[in-house]
Every structure is written in structure tokens, then in C-alpha cells.
Chains A and B, each alone.
Chain A
Amino acid sequence: MSIATQDDLNVPDARYVRVAPVEALPPPVAARGVVGWVRANLFSSPANIFLTLLTAALIIWIVPPVIEFVFTHAVWSGSDREACLPTADRPEVGACWAFVRDRFSYFIYGSYPIPERWRVNIFFAMLAVGIVWMLRLEAPRRDLGALYFFVIVPIVSYILLTGWEAIGLRRVDTSLWGGVLVTIVVSWVGIVFSLPIGILLALGRRSTMPAVKLLSVIFIEFVRGVPLITVLFMASVMLPLFVPDAYSPDKLLRALIGIAMFASAYMAEVVRAGLQAMPKGQYEGAMAVGLGYWQMMYLIILPQALKITIPNIVNTYIGLFKDTTLVVIVGIFDFLHTVEVSRIDPKWAAPTTSATGYVFAAIFYFIFCFSMSRYAKSVEARLGKADRR
């Protein structure tokens, strides 16, 4: 639309005619800035106002007591239960962090002999290097990293943690292991074994050989159909019956076998989903250039299929990490069990000891699982970016 000027209208005295467009008015105060945001997002309708008030009430009901418990009323230092008992001038006692400080090394190492704990620290450090190497998709030589993570670290840390008299490392029985050490060992063994076994099972399930396919399906569906506890029970009470007495595995090994079996079955389904997502042309192309089955899988299919399943693999690992808490059923002192044992220790028996221990454990698990899920999300976003181009 063109704007009529004074000349076109031929009315020289028409002073009311505008010659330029008016500047747009800013939106009303009520619709911009903080006020506008609050009106749009919190108070846009009666129902919305009601929801906001309800939610606010819920937050006010929950958050201040939690902050009081964790921070303001908490006891930060002390040597035994006396510090955390309510007294006349302090009727409300919050978290007993003194208890966590006192038991901290037990939570980390369990009963691992104190002079040998440097070995555990080296294990943690080695593992951390491997994890960073594997997780950073742009890290150099990730093939070497995989070798390091899946082969070198397991062998070295096995020698390091159990001991080898020949090179001067005292033997440490696995019954002394505990705390975060056991949680990490169990989940890591699950991670290391579940991926290759899971891949084999997934390939087996898609195999054209009926016997291979049937056995894979039976294993996967059987393990996925029962609770982890029963698998652990099986590993702990039935496994010793099935092997000659002399080779009966120790408690930790039994739990590890159970966890590895369980995780493999779930991993197999995750990998299978990835294999199914591969377009048929990839298989046909690989066969057309004359690759054999394993070459085709190793060079063409698996690299692509595993890449798109990374988020799901990490999610399976999160589940596995949380499930390691169940190994307590076969009598292993994982992190949660060390908390559980410490909380009923008479030395620290106080009204809030239990809650403190659980809150501490929850923070520990939350940090691990939450960062894993963030990682899965970021990989997903990165892969999605490549697809959206």
C-alpha cells in the first residue's frame, strides 16, 4: 500500500494527514517483560491460576523442610551419635553429615585393607581415563581406547585388585571388597561383558540358522521375562551346583555372572533395534562388493547400527548401574549395602541417621545416572543434527 502524500490530495491545509507511518506502540506493560511472561505462563486462565497456586503450595510444602534437613539443621561434625541427638536447645536435628564423614572411607572401599587402598585408587583412575576416552566421540584413536577399556583395564585391574604375590601385591579376598568399589566393579563388568555378548545374541536372533536363532531367542526372552533377583538367586544357589565342587566360583564372581547374563539379554534387544533400523541396501551393498558375513557386520553394519543405538546403550547402562544395588541379595557389600550396614551401627544410632545415609546414597546414584542420561541426550542431539541436514 502506498501512502498518500500531501501533494496527491491537493489539500494544502490538511494538516491532519500523516505523511509517515506511525511508530508501532510497544505491547502493553502487562504483555511484555517479566509481567507478561508471568501472565502468559502462570496466570493465563482461572484453571492455570489454580494449578499455579496448587503447585506453589506443593513446592512450599516440600522444599523448605528439605533445605532445613540437608543444610540449616544439619550436623556437620562430631565423633559419634551424641552429636546428632536432639537436645533441649536444639529440638530439630537435620541430616547427620558427621556420620557420613566418619564412614566415608568405608562407603568407598568397604573393608579393603587400609594399606592396600592405593590399588583401588589406581583402578578408579584407570577406569576414569578409559571412560573419558570412550565417551568423547572426537577423542583421538578411539579404537585404541576400546582396546584399553575392554581388554587392558580388565586384566590389569583384576591383577591389581585381587593381588598377585609374584610381583609383590598381597592377595585381597573379594569378601573384603565393598562400597563404591564393588558398585563400580559390578556395573563395569556388566558394561564390558554385556555389549559384546549382547551383539552376538542380537546377531544370533537375526540369523538365518534356525538353531542359532532359537537358542538366542530362548535366552533373551527367558532372561528378560524374570526379575533380576531371581537371576541372582540362580547364579548364587544354582550355579555352584552345576560346576564341580573344586571350581565353585566365589560370591562376587557369581553375582558378576548373573549381572552379565541379565545385562546381555537387555543389550541384545537394544542392538537388535539398531540392526533393524539399518536400511536393507546396506546389507545388499556389502554383499555385492563381496564381503563375507563377519566382514559385512564388522565393517558396514555394526559401526552404523551401534552409532545410532548409543543413547539406548547408555540408557541400558543407567538401568544396569541402578540394578547393581540388588547384588546385596547374594551377600555382597555394594555401596548401598555399606550405607545400610552403617546406618544400623549403634555408634551412630540417632533419629536422622537412616535418612541421612539414604540421602547421601541417593545423591551418589543421582550424580552418576543423571550425567549418563545427559550424555545420552547430547549424543542423541548430535546424531539428530546429522540427520536433519
Chain B
Amino acid sequence: MWRWGSGMSISQHSGPPKVSLIYDPKVRSIAYQVILCAIIIFLAYSAVRNAIDNLARAHIASGFGFWNQTAGFDISQTLISYTAQGGTYGRAFWIGLLNTLLVAAIGIVLATIVGFLVGIARLSKNFLLARLSAGYVEMIRNVPLLLQLLFWYNAVLKALPDLRDSWSLPGSIYLNNRGFFAPYPIFSSGTELVVAAFVVGVIGALAFGIWARKRQEQTGQQSPVALVSLGLIVGLPIIAFFAAGMPATLEFPEKGRFNIRGGLEILPELVALVIGLTLYTGAFIAEVVRAGIMAVSKGQTEAAGALGLRTGPTLKLVVIPQAMRVIIPPLTNQYLNLTKNSSLAVFVGYPDLVQIFTGTVLNQTGQAVEVVTITMAVYLTISLLTSMTMNWYNSRIALVER
């Protein structure tokens, strides 16, 4: 402590005035951290102790031994082969993970399309279109996703006609309360050529894009990148397809009296989940897109006009590149939200990771700690990978200032 009364003696002391250790900020900070860590360690320790006691009392095994045990339950949609007798819990986990990724991938593509269309429509000068888009966004954003999923599943898809009165669309597409049935291509030998052509096309398009950009930077001349890419990516595989003698045939679903055989069967649960996730996330993406476009100041458009650019090039070269910088980070957030929200699949019975693993496997094995930890680890990994990619991207496109 330092008092005015002792002011005279300061000059005799050298170095900082003596303070009690309690008032030393460094000592305090270390003490706080030690206390905090001690509390956390104590809590963790007692939690583990209690868990061991409780598990022993309930005769529940611990460890990951269950991974290779036979699962013995059926799964309605499997992207890799699986049987109730032969499948293990580990295999069930992979199936659940793949189903989650499938629904997330479809949802992300569709929600992006819906979101961009609606977001741009909401900024349209057309009064009716702008109002309708605003109404859609407000309506969807203010109603819980779970309610929307249940509505699509129970009130819409379950209310479709049954198998006998299926709605049939041209091209052997059937829609009924058991799902959505469509023709499915079956590939025979020669398909490899088409795949190879596709790969070559993609590589070619990328190479052409890089070359065109270099050329523009050096000479200022532009090349038709979009057309050439389209030709390479779509045209080349089509040519290869015919050159290989059309190695694919369509298998059409056949409607019997009691079921539909063959073709592609899409579960109503998947349809409900995709519709719900797409419309819900689409509304949020629309807001992200709108905010991004509005963030580009009007002066940019006017300056482009003053330079003689028409509407199309103005959008492509001036507005969109700047808007994307604002749009991408929150857009990725929405993609992550969609992936996490796909766990609501459990409420409509779509066999995703949570439904299979945290639901059925947890119920059968009772190993709550392991199962919930694995599930959380999966989602955490997806989140962390995405945000790492995001940070890398952000640092790449960030405005370089001074």
C-alpha cells in the first residue's frame, strides 16, 4: 500500500512501491486460473466417479466393444449393403452417417437455389414478386422447423393417395404415401468411358478458365469461359455416351397390386426432410443473399454504368464479386445449420445418424456415454472442418487494405 503520508520517503526507496501480493494483478490472475481449473477438475473427477458407480450398478458395459457386435435391426434406407443379421453396430453407424450426408448434400444444393432465387426476387422491382418473396421468408422463418417437418410428413405426404390410386406422372414416375418412385439408370460396361470423359471435361474446363483469366490479365481480351466449360463438362460425356454405344438403360418402376417393383424408390421420410430443410434454410439463405447484395453500395453500380458497362456485365463483374464476399461466411453458417438440423430426421423416422445411432443403437446397448460422444464428435468434426475451410477462404478473399 502506498500512502500520501509516506510521500517523503519515496525518494529514499528505489524500484516500484511495495504492494501486498493480493493486489498484484499477475498473482491474482494465476490464482483465479488455478481455482477455476481446480473446480473443473473436481467436477470432472466426481462426474467420472459417479458414472462408473452408476454404470456398475446398472450392469452396463463400457468401452467400444459394441462396435463389432451384430446389430439385428433393419434400416429402411441403406446406401451401402447391410443386413439385419450380418450388420454390426459399426456398419449401422456408417449407414447413418452416409444418410445424414446424403440429406445434407441434397438440402444444401436445393436450399442454395431457393435461397438465391428468393433473395434476388425480394429485391425485384416487381411489386408482386417482392411481396410474395417477403411473405414466404417471414412465414417460414417464424415457424419452428420441427413443426414444418411434421406438417410435410404427416399432413401432406401421409395424406397422398395410397398405392392403388398413386399419382402417376409421365415417364413412369409415381407418387403415393409410400414414397416417390422414378426410373433409375442401370449402367453396363462402357460407362467408364463416360466417367473418364466427364473427368477430362472438368479438368479441361478448369484449365481453360485459368488460361482465359491469364489472357485477360495480359491482353484484356475476354474468352467465352461459360460456354466452353459447359461444352466440355456436359458435351464431352454425351459424346462419349453415344460413342460407347449407349451403355445405360433406364429401369422403370412397375406398379403391381401391392407394391412397386424396380426403379428408384425415395422414402417419404427423405422427401419430407428435404422439402422441410430446403424451404426453411432457403428462407434464411434468401435473407443472407439480400443483405449481401444490399451491402454493395449504389455508387458501384453507377460507376459501372458511367464506364459504359451494361446491366449484365455490371452484375457479373462489379456487384456479384463484391456481394459474394459478404454472402459467403453467413452462407456457410447456414449450410452448417442445415447439416445440424438434418438431425431432426429422427422425428419423421428417416434413418440418419441420430435416428440409427443415438436412437436405436443407444437403446439396444444402453451405452449412453460412448454413443452420444461419438455422435457429437461426428458433428463437431464436420463443423470444425467447415470453419477451417471458411477461415482459409476468408483470408484469401479478404480486402487487402494498405
Pair B369/A241 contact, Cβ less than 8 Å: yes
* Other-chain contact of B144, A44, A215, A322, A343 (Cβ < 8 Å): A322
Q: Is B132 an interface residue (CB 8 A)?
A: yes
Q: Is the CB of B147 within 8 A of A44?
A: no
Nearest CB on B from A345, distance (A) = 14
Given contacts A48-B126, A242-B47, contact A230 B354 (CB under 8 A): yes
Chain A hits for B315, CB < 8 A: none
Q: Find out whether the CB atom of B147 lies under 8 angstroms from the CB atom of A41.
A: no
* A240 to B51 alpha-carbon distance, docked (Å): 8
A59-B132, A242-B51 known; A336-B154 Cβ under 8 A:
no
Does B314 make an interface contact (CB < 8 A)?
no
Interface residues of A in 319-368 (CB under 8 A from B): 322-323, 325-326, 328-329, 336, 340, 343, 351, 354-355, 358, 361-362, 365-366
Tell me which of B142, B159, B343 contacts A370 (CB under 8 A).
Answer: B142
A378 at interface by CB-CB < 8 Å = no
| B36 adjacent to A211 (CB under 8 Å) | yes
Count of A-B contacts judged by CB separation below 8 Å: 150
Q: Do B129 and A365 touch (CB < 8 A)?
A: no
Cβ-defined contact, B132 with A55, below 8 A:
yes
Q: Does B128 contact A (CB under 8 A)?
A: yes
Q: In the assembled complex, how far is the CB of residue A275 from the closest CB belonging to chain B, in whole angstroms?
A: 19
B138 within 8 A of A: yes
The reply to whether the CB of B50 lies closer than 8 angstroms to some CB of chain A is yes
Q: A59-B132, A226-B380, A358-B150 are in contact. Are A326 and B344 (CB under 8 A)?
A: yes
Interface residues of B in 135-158 (CB under 8 A from A): 138-139, 141-147, 150-151, 154-155, 158
- A58 CB-CB contact with B under 8 Å: yes
Q: Contacts A211-B33, A336-B146, A369-B142 given; indicate if A222 touches B380 (C-beta within 8 A).
A: yes
Kindly name the residue among A58, A230, A322, A370 whose own CB sees the greatest number of chain B CB atoms within 10 A: A230
The docked-state distance in angstroms from the alpha carbon of A229 to that of B379 is: 11
Secondary structure at chain A's binding surface: helix, strand, loop or mixed? helix
Number of interface residues of A (CB under 8 A): 56
| Cross-chain contact A229 with B36 (CB below 8 angstroms) | no
Q: Cα distance A343–B154 when bound, in Å?
A: 10
Q: Which residue of B lies closest to A343 (CB)?
A: B154
Cβ of A238 under 8 Å from chain B: yes
Q: B32 and A212: CB pair below 8 A?
A: yes
Complexed CA–CA distance, A373 and B37 (Å) = 40
Q: A55-B126, A215-B40, A241-B54 are in contact. Are A227 and B340 (CB under 8 A)?
A: yes
List which A216-274 residues lie within 8 A (CB) of chain B: 221-222, 224-230, 233-234, 237-238, 240-245
Whether the pair A226, B340 counts as a contact (CB closer than 8 A) is yes
Per-residue CB contact flags for chain A residues 291-326 toward chain B (1 = under 8 Å, else 0) read 000000000000000000000000000100011011
A52 on the B face (CB < 8 A): yes
Closest CB in chain B relative to A274 CB, distance in Å:
18
Interface 0/1 of A358-389, CB less than 8 Å to B: 10011001100110010000000000000000
Residues on B with beta carbons closer than 8 Å to the beta carbon of A184? none
**A230 and B145 contact, CB distance less than 8 A:** no
> Contacts of B376 on A, CB cut-off 8 Å?
222, 226, 230, 234
Q: Which chain B residues in 143-192 approach chain A with CB under 8 Å?
A: 143-147, 150-151, 154-155, 158-159
Contact A230 B54 (CB under 8 A): no
Q: How far is the CA of A183 from the CA of B379 in the complex (A)?
A: 27
Instruction: For residue A190, give the distance in angstroms from its CB to the closest CB of chain B.
Output: 14
With A211-B36, A230-B376, A241-B55: A52-B128 Cβ-Cβ less than 8 Å:
yes
Counting CB contacts under 8 A, is B210 at the interface? no
**How far does the alpha carbon of A318 sit from the alpha carbon of B151 in the complex, in Å?**
20
Q: Which of B129, B147, B354, B379 has the most CB of A within 10 A?
A: B147
Collect the chain B residues with CB atoms within 8 Å of residue A242's CB: 47, 50-51
The residues of B that contact A340 with a CB separation of less than 8 Å are 150
Task: Establish whether residues A51 and B51, one from each chain, have CB atoms under 8 Å apart when the complex forms.
Answer: no
Q: With A42-B128, A241-B50, A336-B144 in contact, is A355–B375 under 8 Å at CB?
A: no
Answer yes or no: A209 CB below 8 A from chain B CBs.
Answer: yes
Is there a chain A Cβ closer than 8 Å to B242's Cβ? no
Nearest B residue to A372 by beta-carbon distance? Answer: B142
Decide: B159 and A351 in contact? CB cutoff 8 A.
Answer: yes
* Interface flag for A65 (CB, 8 Å): no
Bound form: Cα–Cα A358–B146 in Å: 11
Question: Which residues of chain A are within 8 angstroms of B384 by Cβ–Cβ distance?
Answer: 221, 225
A230 vs B342: C-alpha distance in the bound complex, in angstroms?
12
The CA of A323 and the CA of B354, in the complex, are separated in Å by: 17
4 shortest interchain CB distances as A-B pairs: A225-B383, A369-B142, A242-B47, A237-B368
Q: A318-B142, A322-B145 are in contact. List 6 more A-B contacts (CB 8 A).
A: A225-B380, A228-B340, A230-B376, A325-B147, A358-B154, A358-B155
Q: List 16 A-B contacts (CB under 8 A).
A: A42-B126, A51-B124, A51-B129, A209-B29, A209-B32, A226-B340, A226-B375, A228-B340, A237-B362, A243-B47, A243-B50, A323-B144, A354-B158, A354-B159, A369-B141, A369-B142
